[in-house]
Amino acid sequence: MWLSPALALIFGVVLYPAVKLFQASRGDYSITGLRIGDAGWSNYADVLDHRALWTVLSNTGVWVVAVVTLTILISLALAQLLVQEFPGRRFVRWSIIVPWAASLIITSQLFVLLYDYNYGMINHVLTSVGLLDTPIDFLGDDAWTMPAMIAVGILVSVPFTVFVFIAGLNAIPGEMMEAARVDGASAWQRYRLVTLPLMKSAMLVAAVLNVIYVFNSFPIVYTLNDRNPGFSTDTSITFMYKLAFESQAKDVGMSAAMGIMNVLLILVAIAVYLKVVNWREETS
């Protein structure tokens, strides 16, 4: 009886939509979104045959790996700084959390303005100090669009990760660090042999949650990429959306099939990561 509210919430928010998504993935829909019959597994076949699928999957891999890896490295350095005592530490901690607390749409739209070719502040500053002769088309040039999105992805991912790492660092017993210092371990040795091993749990939580968040990040990719035709810089999440609402076919069934594939992709990626981490712990 005590579990029934939570079970009802899980059923209503997770299981029921998942069942309806799977049903939609096997349906045939008109261009207006009305179900007109069953399609079997043809929607999945159409997605796998789509000419842009492998480009989208490649973009997704680059997007997730780059954002998560750089976020963890930057957050480790910032967390190590923010556990030290210095004047204004509380203000710095408050300021770091702002990008995470702000709406992703607002943050993404802000960077659309900052990246603008003609009037963007970034191009203005870089040309003013002589680092660039001509502005960079950050959101119009395929060579720059992905790095521009990755930079925003890191900005909004770092705050949460920093505070996870701060919690992990604060949980390390001071006696262990003092013992290592007495034994003659250098600062780098203490960090490598004491701090990092004891941070494994925090790093595992941060990595898994960031993979989920970054993989499912729709507002950043869509807002920064909406001016580009086709799917050349899309990830699997925006690809799924465009199949239903912006592609020539406007195929809800294909979009739902891609949604099921996205769920499977993220589950497989996390399972592999957890398996690798567990294998390393067992063999170490």
Could you tell me the domains of the chain?
Answer: 43-283 (1.10.3720.10)
Residues contacting residue 277 through CB under 8 Å, at least 6 positions apart: 204
The shares of helix, strand and coil residues in the chain, as percent rounded to the nearest 5, are 75, 0, 25
N residues, the chain:
284
Question: How many whole angstroms separate alpha carbon 269 and alpha carbon 209?
Answer: 12
For residues 28 and 35, the answer to whether their CB atoms sit within 8 Å is yes
Q: According to the model, what pLDDT value does residue 284 have?
A: 53
Question: How many whole angstroms separate alpha carbon 48 and alpha carbon 236?
Answer: 12
Q: Which residue has the tokens 């939570």?
A: 6
Q: According to the model, what pLDDT value does residue 36 have?
A: 85
Q: According to the model, what pLDDT value does residue 162 have?
A: 94
Q: According to the model, what pLDDT value does residue 237 have?
A: 93
| Grouped pLDDT means (10 residues each) for the chain, 284 residues | 90 90 88 82 91 93 95 93 87 85 89 91 90 88 91 94 91 83 82 85 89 91 84 91 82 91 88 73 52
Instruction: Specify the DSSP class assigned to residue 12.
Output: I
Q: According to the model, what pLDDT value does residue 9 have?
A: 92
Q: According to the model, what pLDDT value does residue 29 have?
A: 84
pTM (2 d.p.): 0.86
Q: According to the model, what pLDDT value does residue 282 have?
A: 53
Contacts of 194-202 with CB under 8 Å at 24 or more apart are: 195/169, 198/168, 198/171, 198/172, 199/76, 199/165, 199/168, 199/169, 199/172, 200/281, 201/168, 202/164, 202/165, 202/167, 202/168, 202/171
Question: How many whole angstroms separate alpha carbon 233 and alpha carbon 213?
Answer: 18
Angle formed by the axes of helices 200-215 and 252-283, nearest 10°: 170
Q: According to the model, what pLDDT value does residue 281 have?
A: 56
Residues contacting residue 125 through CB under 8 Å, at least 6 positions apart: none
Q: According to the model, what pLDDT value does residue 240 have?
A: 92
Question: How many whole angstroms separate alpha carbon 70 and alpha carbon 59?
Answer: 16
